[in-house]
Amino acid sequence: MRRFVMGIAIAVAALFTFVLPADVVARNYSIVPEPAYMDIEAEGEYIVTGKTRIVVNDEAWNPAERFAEDMMSYFGLKKPMHTSKRGKGIKVRTDIFVPAEGYEMTINEDGVVIIGGSEAGIYYGLQTLRQIIVANDGKVPYGFIADEPTFAYRGAHLDVSRHFFSVADVKNYIDIIAAHKLNRLHWHLTDDQGWRIEIKAYPELTEKGSMRKETLIGHGLNPVEWDGTPYGGYYTQEEIREVVAYAAERYIEVIPEIEMPGHSQAALHALPWLGCNEQIVDVWTTWGVTPEVLCAGKETTYEFLEKVLDEVIELFPSELIHIGGDECPKERWAECEHCQAMIKAQGLESEEELQGYLVARIERYLNSKGRRMIGWDEILDGGVTPTATVMSWRGLYGGIYAAERGNDVVMTPMSLCYLNFYQTESREGEGLHIGGHVPFEKIYSWNVYEGMSDAARPHIIGVQLNMWSEYIKDMDTVEIMLLPRIGAMCEVQWSHDRRDDSTIRAKMELMRKFYEVNGWNCAPYYFDFRK
């Protein structure tokens, strides 16, 4: 019933938004991502200050405390806002009648009431409130908001292999994505250029594999030069736990990625017996795709992968575990007696199918531990199982194909989701980046379901932005690449069918202020109308 009423309310709201967009913006219920339903009253504001109490019942302490901390910088407080069991102020609680990640917020003379479908729902309501407070200088207009996300999986990826980011940096990244109501951090922990997660069974992985001798300068085009400076870093298991807990407090699940069988040169440097020819290779100092990959023929490789995954599973409670699977050249396998013997023994036709065998075997292992496997769309090439989740990066096609077959899919096509790509056509003032061109507007206008049958749609579990770090060396640059484009991305992830070209610019102007208040760097191009 409640749902039905909300449906009617949404329809009425859509009408009003259409007729009165200026009013909506003027009284500043101007929220990114767009809520499902908003009804702003013509008069009256509830004033929130640093002294306003947050009134909490037992299950809601965590989101309330996060909000109390997050508002410190805005109100210039030395201590977080007060949380208590009774009194007037901002009241938060849960109710099973509200959708799990959704919330309902009422603002009137008695204060603000947020009812979440879960703690996460309250948290998202409070993120909305943060934006309203900043946009209205603390004078929160009376009204009502009801909200819930479109996609269950709202991801942001961070590559910490090509460049390393400290625990403090990763927490900052989590703060930013959480403020945009994202709920997954895909943590790219291993690659050719550095192994970044401590594995107790193989200390060499971080002792040797976390350091490279030097790094390529620029794009490495005439002349190819390196900087001569050793570079490295890794997380201890204790630090990994700290990040996972920090993310969980912000309703973000961390999905670890351990790359296999390609993008593994750092592991090969640490443990040369993982390779086909067992030659000593360096931790890679160049970007791109290396021919040095894990041997898929030797049992010792599988033993290694299983032991690594055992520790990963202990550290990460997420059901999905990412095994990479992308960009694995097969030239070493073609010449390897172990790989060829495995192809024969398993009755496989090709090296491509050998990759399919490795991926399926790892999936079975993860399943036996109660987990599920996710991999880049190359896992489709070797014949994927129906139970694997596919991350579509090479384009839209892989994702559509997999969803049509019934596999779960996360859409993250390069042309729309790679925030390591340039933001403008001219590239002026952007510094050196890997290439590509993904402006704000392109993301914002993306219809995720385009070209898909009705049967495929439910298999699109979500959308993810990717932050590959070949040319992103520090958190300041991550922020510039992320903001404001994450504003467009979260609209796709949370508000898919309720995006509105006529209000997004005004909303983003206020978001720019919000970013400033939080001390985050934001790129100017969208605001300067540079595409």
Q: Is 468 in the site for ligand TNX (CB under 6 A)?
A: yes
Q: How far is the CB of 215 from ligand TNX (least distance, A)?
A: 14
Quick check: helix, strand or coil at residue 37?
strand
Q: Which residue, 326 or 404, has its beta carbon nearer to ligand TNX?
A: 326
Residue whose CB is less far from ligand TNX, 133 or 417: 417
Q: Which residue in 327, 353, 381, 430 is the catalytic one?
A: 327
C-alpha radius of gyration, the chain, whole number: 24
Please pick, from the candidates 69, 204, 327, 381, the single residue that binds ligand TNX as defined by CB under 6 A: 327
SS3 233: coil
Query: Which of these is catalytic: 104, 147, 191, 377?
Result: 191
| Closest CB 44 distance from ligand TNX, rounded Å | 49
Angle at 482 between CA 476 and CA 488, to 5 degrees: 155
Q: Does 471 bind ligand TNX (CB under 6 A)?
A: no
Q: Which is nearer to ligand TNX, 148 or 470 (by Cβ)? A: 470
Q: Catalytic site residue 191?
A: yes
Q: Per this entry, what is the length of the chain?
A: 531
Which helix or strand (DSSP H or E) is residue 400 part of? helix 397-405
157, 465 in Cβ contact below 8 A?
yes
186, 188, 263, 433: the catalytic one is 263
- Distance between CA 262 and CA 245 in Å, rounded? 30
Residue closer to ligand TNX, measured from CB, 357 or 376: 376
- Beta strands per DSSP E along 275-345: 320-324
Q: Total number of residues binding ligand TNX (CB under 6 A)?
A: 9
Does position 434 interact with ligand TNX (CB under 6 A)? The reply is yes
Neighbouring-strand partners of residue 235? 197
Q: How far is the CB of 477 from ligand TNX (least distance, A)?
A: 15
Question: Taking CB under 6 A as the rule, does residue 418 contact ligand TNX?
Answer: yes
Our CB check for ligand TNX shows the closer of 418 and 515 to be 418
Q: Is 381 considered catalytic here?
A: no
For residue 265, state whether it binds ligand TNX (rule: CB under 6 A).
no
- What does the alpha-carbon distance between residue 259 and residue 235 come to, in Å, rounded to a whole number? 16
Q: Report whether the peptide linkage leading into residue 33 is cis, meaning its omega lies within 30 degrees of zero.
A: yes
Q: Is 509 assigned a catalytic role?
A: no
> Does 420 contact ligand TNX by CB under 6 A?
yes
d(CA 361, CA 350): 16
Nearer to ligand TNX, 470 or 479 (CB): 470
Q: Which of residues 184-243 bind ligand TNX (CB under 6 A)?
A: none
Task: Report the residue number, 239 or 327, with the smaller CB distance to ligand TNX.
Answer: 327
One symbol per residue from 359 to 378: x for binding ligand TNX (CB under 6 A), - otherwise; what is it?
-----------------x--
Residues whose CB falls within 8 Å of the CB of residue 26, separated by 6 or more in sequence, listed in order: none
Angle at 477 between CA 471 and CA 480, to 5 degrees: 120
Q: Are 212 and 193 in contact (CB under 8 A)?
A: yes
Tokens of 247: 């993310």
State the helix-helix crossing angle for 299-315 and 237-248, rounded to 10 degrees: 50
**C-beta neighbour count of 102 within 10 angstroms:** 22
Site for ligand TNX in 376-405 (CB under 6 A): 376, 393
Instruction: Provide the minimum distance between the beta carbon of 149 and ligand TNX in the complex, in angstroms, as a whole number.
Output: 25
Which residues lie near ligand TNX (CB under 6 A)?
Answer: 326-327, 376, 393, 418, 420, 434, 468, 470
List residues with catalytic annotation.
191, 263, 327
